[in-house]
Amino acid sequence: MAPSYMSQSELERRNWPCKLEYHISLFSQALGLCSFWRFPYLALENNGAPFMYAFLLLYCLVGIPVVFIEMAWGQYSNLAPPQGFSTIPIMQGVGWSMLLVALMVVFYHGAAAYYLLLYTVSSMSNPLPFASCNNTWNSELCQYQPDPDCISSAVEGFTRKNDAYGIETADGFIPKRFCDYTYNGSHPTPSIEFWTRNLAENGDICRNIQNVPAILMGASSPFLMPAIAIGVFLFVRLLVSFFSLLQEVRFTGKIAYGLCTIPFAVLVMVLVRCLTLTNAMEGVKYLFITQDLTSFQSPKLWKDAMSQVFLSLMVTWGGLYTWASYNRFYNKYEVDASMLLVTVPLLSCLPTISVFGVQGYLSYATNVSISSALDSVTGPMAPFVAYSEAVSQMWGDPVPWSIIVFATFFLLSTSAILPAIECMLSSVSDSLSSCRATGLRVVSSLLVLLFTLTVYMGVPCIVQEGALQYFTFFDTITFPVCCMLIAVPELLMITYAFGITLLRTNIKAMTNNSCLKRMIWPVFWGGITPSIIMACLCYTLYAVGKDGLQSLTIKSESDVSPDEILSDWTSIASFAVIGVVFLSIMVTMIWKVARASGSCAERLGDASAPIALGRSSVHTNGSGHGGRSNGDLYMADYVGHRDANEILVEDDIVTTV
């Protein structure tokens, strides 16, 4: 019988304390930045409904199979990606590539958290700077309560009768509400101008320290007020992350309780308010009813949908794999996978409906079409602008509502980086078991958190207009192409090098579920899913070759042109990172084959045959090499399980005793 959690040695690799904490951690990740920020932003970028349906299609054909195979492989190996994928020597490059992408995930989500921090601090001002037109950055056109039916003195026929404003027509006097701005057909709200005329131009607050109160609070508030608020929120974020990572996953689930319960209630509250705004349902229809079928021809649509599938499910960058590796060997991972696969699309839809409800309201208030309502803030900041508009329209005093919403979202954004950082830390501790000691774990966790915090908060804080370039670097092709390059060899090598029969046999051993042995899974793992990923990858590269990266980048935002967003450094760095990922996979394959002995066929066979991860010998087929036939059984730590009388081997069937 396996030792209990509390009796594990300090140097042993810990497991999840209980299944509920594992599920809560998955739930908090599904509720995080990928759901309430990235999904709405990409849906706005790709005209709503087309992105929704492209995502759901790829979710079913790509996301579900990859989740099941990564959870199985992580639980099977009980190691971090670089060590776990060394089970098949030529696959080890896939593990190292995952580690690189995990680091990028931390920087990417951290930069988004930077702007959440600015909105959180701004929420502590009364009145809210994004709910008032009395700030220095507001234009004469700013309208606190925009109304397409209001009039100004510039309108022909304008008059005043009986203390009422209106238009004198042949049918008589028509009362109208008087606009308190200079009329030219534009009706920007304070939330839109807070971004376009303030943060977009002054987001680099580290270089404008003396103006921080005016930038964030719109008034001559004491300098220490925003400075203290920023310091407190950053410290809390660091503290939450530190305790979540302190002893592998021992405390991750406990922290996740707070990172998902209150935020879920806040998201529901925001959803209710957004749906009760005037004309909100028109925005929701725009999300679910396709206006133009030709939108499905866009390479950007499929590239964005594919990357969202990978990031939201934590696959191909080691997040889900690492968390699954902390499960006990005999864990019914299909239950965990099903829970994750159900919650991700549902939790992605809730905040997206909220954002599109605000878009419908703004289309009415500014008297423009649904598709044009957020044109001035198209890009990664659009969801934040929509949320600020929603809280400014909250019932009663909007200040406490705003503090609750943005402070909750900021702390919730912490969950987005936890699996990625755990992937990095476990990669080190699985290579050097001495690093699992509590003291070394504390030091390494703190160093990694401080380093990443400095980078992802420092870049947008210092570099003017660097935020859009930062997001463009990741979203244009870096994330999508890197994830696709990792997913294809991962699926094919596990399926064909490790072997379908062997894989299905050991899945049966872990779960005692014969349903997972059905042929539908190998058909997807070894055929349908990698084919779809390759088709999407080729379509993306075709678009780059035909129209350049401009066709795949985010739309222009405010007064920034696409050429400025896609700067030289973003293009060069994107191709450099993609090249590193590709070469790490290919060079590892070549190196492992070259190091083997024998003929070319024998070398390839040795390099692609399972090895015992340093814990047991390979079950050979009598060829003298480390190969195996489909009837052979290979399982990580097989000898340990056998000696403990925990398994019974009968041909290709492995069952628990």
Q: Given the structure tokens 């008059």, which residue do they identify?
A: 159
Say what the pLDDT of residue 180 is.
52
Give 426-457 pLDDT, tens digit per residue: 998 888 766 777 778 888 899 999 999 999 89
* Crossing angle between the packed helical segments 92-122 and 479-492, to the nearest 10 degrees: 150
Nearest to 428 by CA among 248, 305, 263: 248
What DSSP assignment string belongs to 101-145? Answer: HHHHHHHHHHHHHHHHHHHHHHTTSSS-TTS-S-STT--TT--SS
Q: Is the pLDDT of residue 612 over 80?
A: no
| Encoded amino acid at 405, one letter | V
Q: What ranges do the domains of the chain cover?
A: 26-131+204-593, 609-656
DSSP E strand stretches across 225-281: none
CATH 3.30.1660 assigned to domain 26-131+204-593? The reply is: no
Residues 226, 595: Cα–Cα separation, whole Å: 59
CB 196, CB 377: distance < 8 Å: yes
Say what the pLDDT of residue 6 is.
35
Beta bridge partners of 174: 167
Q: Strand order of the sheet with strand 164-169?
A: 158-161, 164-169, 172-175
Say what the pLDDT of residue 144 is.
67
For 496, other C-beta atoms within 10 Å of its C-beta total 14
Say what the pLDDT of residue 466 is.
63
Say what the pLDDT of residue 498 is.
85
Give 83-115 pLDDT, tens digit per residue: 889 888 888 899 999 999 999 999 999 989 999
- Decide: helix, strand or coil at residue 307: helix
CB 413, CB 113: distance < 8 Å: yes
- The pLDDT confidence band at residue 13, using thresholds 50, 70 and 90, is confident
- The pLDDT confidence band at residue 491, using thresholds 50, 70 and 90, is very high
Beta bridge partners of 647: 656
Give 220-262 pLDDT, tens digit per residue: 566 778 888 999 999 999 999 999 998 888 899 999 988 888 8
Q: What are phi and psi of 169, to 5 degrees?
A: -125, 180
Angle at 531 between CA 529 and CA 535, to 5 degrees: 120
